[in-house]
Amino acid sequence: MEKRRFAELGLSAEILKAVDKMGFEEASPIQTAVIPHGLAGRDIVGQSATGSGKTAAFAIPAIEKVDVKLRAVQVLVLCPTRELAVQVAEEVGKLAFFKKGLMEVPIYGGQSYERQFRALHAGAQVVIGTPGRVMDHMQRGTLKLAQLKVVVLDEADRMLDMGFRDDIEHILKSVPEQRQCLFFSATMPRAIQELIKRYTRDPEWVKIEAHAQNAPQVDQVYYEVDRRSKIEALTRLIDLHDFRYGSIFCSTKVMVDELDEHLHARGYAVDRLHGDITQAQRTRVMDKFRRRGFEFLIATDVAARGLDVDDLEVVFNFDLPNDAEDYTHRIGRTGRAGRSGRAITFVSGREIYMLQSMIHYARLKIRRERLPSLDQVEEAREHVFFEKLRAVLDEKKFKVHDRMIDRLLEQGYTSTDIASALIHVMQGGAASPETAKPEKAAAAKEFFAPKESPAAAPPRAPAPVPKAFAAVAHKKEPAPTAAKPAKEFSTAKPVKRTYERKPRTGREEGFTPVSFNVGRAHLVTPADIVGKIAGVTRLPAAAVGAIDIHEAHTDVDVANEHVELVLQKLQGIRLKEQALNPVLTPRG
């Protein structure tokens, strides 16, 4: 696919300086294709993969069209979400850095009108906004579009998915006839084509094929594992490599659900996609995944079809795909854009023959590896922990806690012992083995780790940045990363993510005992029970109280307000080969 130097694209000196400052060495294929038409005033319909540089593709010609002496809105970019609006505004700011007098402003719901109004009033020429908020400002008369020259729809398909169609049409109808319309969309469903037909004039279609951009650099390995050990193998590999952003493919919906439950119960931030999940829910999950609102997406091939990410650290083939084409499609979501990714495939039993024939006929480059031992996992974690401590020490990135340390020293503890104790605590240790077993205490915290609290995450190494451009020196701010609650500091030892609650001591305030028809006879553990409840209902930690295992049944304290849900959702769910039949525990 063709790429060109920015200097060959007919750009102003200001823009050339800016892209140079941003570290862009050459224009990406979509930029090479779009920018000249944009400068020529053509309407454009652009289609290319995530991370291929669409923002600059539309922003550069749009900025070139702005007359800075005119203090009126000349460019309007519509984006589906506020995050994206802010991101695009930032990129516009950088690209227009040397174009004195150009002002850009993101406008989106949730921020005060006042602030946005002031920027508009001050004469911002480039407005980047979500359709709803843009409409609001138009109706209030605070956003005037009479001088508009360029309107851009970024991620048009997503905007339609999110129900912005009416707003978009309203906006497009109210902008001047003589404007340029740039239309970007990853997919071209009928609704988009209609919009294009209605609101563009003889557009130039630019489509960049995903595979042509860059040969994926994916490190591909497979492991032969027993079917029953797959989950263990999966978590071991995740922990060993400290993966934080990936997808896991299964061949059936049932497997997706099961794995989702298991991983969730082990404290990983996961979510799932399959055909039985409503479209609205799917869109939410994908959105959240793109924003890195959780770590691992578990999906079937079909459900993942609309998943246009390519910056995953890892793709797991938990189940073998049907054919080499599916395989290639799955792993195309990692290792794109000039950075290396990993694809890890599990085969069990006779599947090895299927894999071998795929390797042979499709010339796949997958090598065999042996599963890391628990010791290796532990070693790797200790190494990470050690390096982290050392970095903190070297950079002196810590507050001095003289007073606390002095007090301990005064009481006769040595500094090595104090340091050791601290490390012990950080790794999830507890004060006294009587009150809680160290590993279990850590696991307990981790167990119900909220799936949606990236804010609580300790800082970690920057996540990979999408880059559709080999050999570019451009650096980007680390993307927001998903949470790995508690894991950071609690896992220098491989945490057995078992779960133990104190035995039932009688009914707690606000809880109702629910009786489950599994017990010691079925070898059930508290972890099994809590895991099942968490996986099926997704209730928070506080929802389950004490657990009391009897021979043939188990009493579980459930927060009053969740009792209905638990009774209903757990009904018929299988645990230890039993179909569960939860009932309110009879009194007495």
Minimum CB distance to Mg ion, residue 176 (Å): 25
Q: Name the residue with tokens 């006294």.
A: 432
Tokens of 26: 């050459």
Task: Closer to Mg ion by CB, 182 or 250: give it.
Answer: 182
Residue 45 makes CB contacts below 8 A (sequence gap 6+) with 183, 184, 185, 196, 200, 203, 204, 205, 206
Minimum CB distance to ligand ADP, residue 184 (Å): 8
Q: Which positions touch ligand ADP (CB under 6 A)?
A: 24, 27-28, 31, 50-56, 466-467, 469, 472, 474, 476
| 360/363 Cα distance (integer angstroms) | 5
Among ligand ADP, Mg ion, none, what binds residue 27 when CB lies within 5 to 8 Å by partner kind? ligand ADP
Minimum CB distance to ligand ADP, residue 404 (Å): 43
Task: Closer to ligand ADP by CB, 47 or 491: give it.
Answer: 47
Minimum CB distance to Mg ion, residue 587 (Å): 60
Residue 522 makes CB contacts below 8 A (sequence gap 6+) with 575, 576, 577, 578
Chosen residue from 42, 54, 244, 333 binding Mg ion by CB under 5 A: 54
Give the DSSP H/E element, type plus range, for residue 62: helix 54-65
Stretch that binds Mg ion, among 46-54, 242-250, 491-499, 517-525 (CB under 5 A): 46-54
Taking alpha carbons only, the member of 562, 572, 557 closest to residue 539 is 562
- Is the distance from CB of 469 to CB of 31 less than 8 angstroms? no
Minimum CB distance to Mg ion, residue 55 (Å): 5
Among Mg ion, ligand ADP, none, what binds residue 56 when CB lies within 5 to 8 Å by partner kind? ligand ADP
With H, G, I as helix, E, B as strand and everything else as coil, classify residue 153: strand
Stretch that binds Mg ion, among 20-28, 53-61, 229-237, 355-363 (CB under 5 A): 53-61
Task: Closer to Mg ion by CB, 150 or 518: give it.
Answer: 150
Task: Closer to Mg ion by CB, 87 or 147: give it.
Answer: 87
Query: 73: buried, middle or exposed (CB in 10 Å: 19+, 13-18, 0-12)?
Result: buried
Task: Closer to ligand ADP by CB, 31 or 334: give it.
Answer: 31
Minimum CB distance to ligand ADP, residue 474 (Å): 4
Task: Closer to ligand ADP by CB, 25 or 232: give it.
Answer: 25
Taking alpha carbons only, the member of 155, 136, 166 closest to residue 77 is 155
Minimum CB distance to Mg ion, residue 184 (Å): 7
With H, G, I as helix, E, B as strand and everything else as coil, classify residue 391: helix
Task: Closer to ligand ADP by CB, 94 or 284: give it.
Answer: 94
Minimum CB distance to ligand ADP, residue 283 (Å): 18
Per the DSSP assignment, residues forming a β-bridge with 221 are 344, 367
Minimum CB distance to ligand ADP, residue 224 (Å): 37
Among ligand ADP, Mg ion, none, what binds residue 474 when CB lies within 5 to 8 Å by partner kind? ligand ADP
With H, G, I as helix, E, B as strand and everything else as coil, classify residue 105: strand
User: Judged by CB under 5 A, does residue 569 bind Mg ion?
Assistant: no
User: Judged by CB under 5 A, does residue 290 bind Mg ion?
Assistant: no
Taking alpha carbons only, the member of 510, 504, 517 closest to residue 581 is 517
Among Mg ion, ligand ADP, none, what binds residue 499 when CB lies within 5 to 8 Å by partner kind? none
> What is the phi/psi pair of residue 175, to 5°?
-95, 155
| 580/371 Cα distance (integer angstroms) | 35
User: Judged by CB under 5 A, does residue 158 bind Mg ion?
Assistant: no
Task: Closer to ligand ADP by CB, 48 or 554: give it.
Answer: 48
Size of interface with Mg ion, in residues (CB under 5 A): 1
C-alpha distances out from residue 354 to 254, 329, 346, 350, 557, Å: 22, 17, 12, 7, 48
Among Mg ion, ligand ADP, none, what binds residue 51 when CB lies within 5 to 8 Å by partner kind? ligand ADP
Helix 415-426 × helix 402-410 angle, to 10°: 120
Residues forming the site for Mg ion (CB under 5 A): 54
